C-alpha cells in the first residue's frame, strides 16, 4: 500500500518524467521544397551540423506543394516553403500560405527588390537565388543589336522568327508582368500583341526546346532562363555542345532598365510549428556558404549582396557582370492576373 506521506514525492517524480521528453526532444525543421539538386544536400547537412536542427523534407514540384498546403490547412506540419519562381511565390502568398517575419540578417543580406514586403508585419517571402531571362538568337539570321532589348521582340523586323514556351508559364508571366510594369498597361499589351505577330510557330515546349529550335533554324530568336543555357554549356553530350555553337546569348536591356531576373525563394509557412527553426534556416540560406551551394545547384546567381558568381558556365555567358532589373518582384507579382488577361486578349497561347 502506498503511504500518503510519499505521494508528493511520487507526484514530483511523475512530473519530472513527463517533462523529460520535451526537454530531450530534438529540434526539427519541416521543409516543403520544390528544389531537388544534389548540391542542396550538402547545404542541408551543414545547417543541421551547425545548428543541431534536423531537416525533415518533402520534395515535390511547385504545383504539388501548393496543392498539399491548401489541403492540409492549419494542420500542415510545414515550417518553410521553398519554391522556384516569383509567380509561384506570389500565388502562395495571395493564398495566405506564408506568415510575415522580421529578420535583420535577411534585410541586410538580400536586396529589397527580391523580397515581398508585408508592411509593418515584415516580409512574407525572400529570394535566395536569381536567374536571368535572356534572349538566344541565330547569329546567321539576326544581328545582336536587333535583340538588345525585350521591346525589340515585337519589332516587325523579327516577323516569323520569335519562339517561346507558353505565355502562361510562370517564367514568362513574371517577365511580361515586369515589362507591363515598366511600359504601362496600354503599351505593355501592344508589346505582347507584337510578340505574337512575330512568332515562328505557336508556343510549345520548355526553355531548352526554344534554344534547340534556334540552333535547328526553326526559330531565329527565343527567350529562355539563363540556367538552361548554362546546363547546355556544361553538358558532356556532343549534341548539346553543338547546339551552343550555333546560338548566341544576349542579356537584354543593358543600356536601359536591366535584364529581368526571377528567383527561387522561400517563406515561413503560415502555420509553422517551429518558427524559430524556420527563421534560422532562412537566415542560413542567405549566408555566403549556402548562397554558393544554393545558386550553383541550378546554375543560378547568388541573391545575397557581395556574394560572387562561382560557376564557369555562368561566367562564360557573361553572367558575372550584367546589369539586372531592380523593379521589386513583389510589385511585379501584383500584375500577374492582369497580364494573363492581356495574353488571352492578344491570343498568346
Q: Which helix (H) or strand (E) holds 223?
A: strand 221-225
DSSP string, 27-81: PEEEEEES---HHHHHHHHHHHHHH-PEEEEEE--HHHHHHHHHHHGGG---SEE
CA 217 to chain CA mean position, Å:
30
Could you report the per-residue pLDDT of 269-306, keeping only the tens digit for each?
Answer: 999 999 999 999 999 999 999 999 999 889 999 999 99
Q: Out of 3.40.50.300, 3.40.190.10, 2.60.40.10, 1.10.3720.10, select the CATH number for domain 132-260+331-346.
A: 3.40.190.10
Residue 12 phi, psi (nearest 5) = -65, -40
CB 163 within 8 Å of CB 252: no
User: Which residue is associated with the grid cell 500565388?
Assistant: 91
Alpha-carbon distance 229 to 133, whole Å? 11
Handedness of CA 310, 316, 321, 324 (dihedral sign): negative
Q: Are 299 and 227 in contact (CB under 8 A)?
A: yes
Beta carbons of 320 and 119 less than 8 angstroms apart: no
pLDDT for the residue 282? 98
Within the chain, which residue ranges are assigned CATH 3.40.190.10?
27-130+261-312, 132-260+331-346
Q: State residue 335 phi and psi, 5-degree precision.
A: -90, -5
Q: What is the pLDDT of residue 118?
A: 83
What local confidence, expressed as pLDDT, does residue 334 receive? 86
Report the alpha-carbon distance of residue 306 to residue 190 in Å, rounded: 38
Give the predicted TM-score (pTM) of the model: 0.88
> Which of 347, 340, 342 lies closest to 168, judged by CA?
340
Please tell me the predicted confidence (pLDDT) of residue 14. 35
- Three-class SS of residue 254? coil
Contact 283, 103 (CB under 8 A): yes
Pairwise CA distance, residues 157 & 140, whole Å: 15
Query: pLDDT tens, 160-196?
Result: 999 999 999 999 999 999 999 999 999 999 999 999 9
- Residues 6 or more apart in contact with residue 64 via CB below 8 angstroms: none
Grid coordinates in use for 119?
A: 508592411
User: Do residues 91 and 66 touch, judged by C-beta distance below 8 A?
Assistant: yes
Nearest to 249, CA basis, from 299, 301, 317, 315 = 317
Residues in the chain where the model's pLDDT stays below 70: 1-25
Please state, as a whole number, how many other Cβ atoms lie within 10 Å of the Cβ of residue 219. Answer: 27
* Burial group, residue 35, by CB count within 10 angstroms (0-12, 13-18, 19+): buried
Question: What's the grid cell of residue 314?
Answer: 555562368
256/151 Cα distance (integer angstroms) = 11
- Check if the beta carbon of residue 298 is closer than 8 Å to that of residue 265: no
Q: What is the pLDDT of residue 59?
A: 95
What lies within 8 Å, CB to CB, of 238 at 6+ separation is: none
Q: Which fold, 27-130+261-312?
A: D-Maltodextrin-Binding Protein; domain 2 (3.40.190)
Burial code (b: 16+ CB inside 10 Å, e: under 16) for 328-342 equals bbbebbebbeebbeb
The answer to whether 32 and 60 are in contact (CB under 8 A) is yes
Amino acid at each position: 500500500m502506498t503511504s500518503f506521506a510519499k505521494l508528493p514525492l511520487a507526484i514530483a517524480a511523475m512530473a519530472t518524467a513527463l517533462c523529460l521528453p520535451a526537454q530531450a526532444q530534438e529540434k526539427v525543421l519541416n521543409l516543403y521544397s520544390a528544389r531537388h539538386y544534389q548540391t542542396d544536400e550538402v547545404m542541408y547537412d551543414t545547417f543541421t551540423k551547425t545548428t543541431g536542427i534536423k531537416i525533415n523534407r518533402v520534395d515535390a514540384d511547385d504545383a504539388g506543394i501548393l496543392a498539399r498546403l491548401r489541403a492540409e490547412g492549419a494542420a500542415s506540419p510545414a515550417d518553410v516553403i521553398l519554391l522556384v519562381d516569383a509567380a509561384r511565390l506570389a500565388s502562395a502568398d495571395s493564398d495566405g500560405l506564408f506568415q510575415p517575419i522580421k529578420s535583420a540578417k535577411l534585410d541586410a543580406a538580400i536586396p529589397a527588390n527580391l523580397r515581398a514586403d508585408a508592411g509593418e508585419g515584415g516580409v512574407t517571402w525572400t529570394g535566395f537565388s536569381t536567374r536571368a531571362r535572356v534572349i538566344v538568337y541565330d547569329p546567321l539570321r539576326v544581328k545582336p543589336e536587333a535583340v538588345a532589348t525585350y521591346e525589340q521582340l515585337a519589332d516587325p523586323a523579327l516577323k516569323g522568327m520569335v519562339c517561346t514556351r507558353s505565355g502562361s508559364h510562370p517564367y514568362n508571366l513574371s517577365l511580361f508582368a515586369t515589362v507591363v510594369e515598366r511600359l504601362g498597361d496600354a503599351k505593355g499589351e501592344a508589346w505582347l500583341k507584337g510578340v505574337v505577330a512575330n512568332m515562328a510557330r505557336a508556343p510549345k515546349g520548355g526553355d531548352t526546346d526554344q534554344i534547340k529550335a534556334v540552333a535547328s533554324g526553326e526559330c531565329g530568336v527565343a527567350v529562355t532562363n539563363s540556367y538552361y543555357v548554362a546546363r547546355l554549356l556544361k553538358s558532356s553530350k556532343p549534341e548539346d555542345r553543338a547546339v551552343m555553337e550555333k546560338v548566341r546569348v544576349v542579356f537584354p536591356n543593358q543600356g536601359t532598365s536591366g535584364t529581368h531576373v526571377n528567383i527561387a525563394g522561400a517563406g515561413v509557412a503560415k502555420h509553422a510549428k517551429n518558427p524559430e527553426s524556420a527563421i534560422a534556416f532562412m537566415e542560413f540560406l542567405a549566408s555566403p556558404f549556402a548562397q554558393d551551394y544554393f545558386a550553383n545547384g541550378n546554375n543560378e546567381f547568388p541573391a545575397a549582396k557581395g556574394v560572387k558568381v562561382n560557376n564557369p558556365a555562368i561566367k562564360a555567358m557573361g553572367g558575372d557582370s550584367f546589369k539586372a532589373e531592380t523593379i521589386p518582384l513583389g510589385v511585379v507579382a501584383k500584375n500577374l492576373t492582369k497580364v494573363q488577361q492581356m495574353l488571352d486578349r492578344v491570343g498568346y497561347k
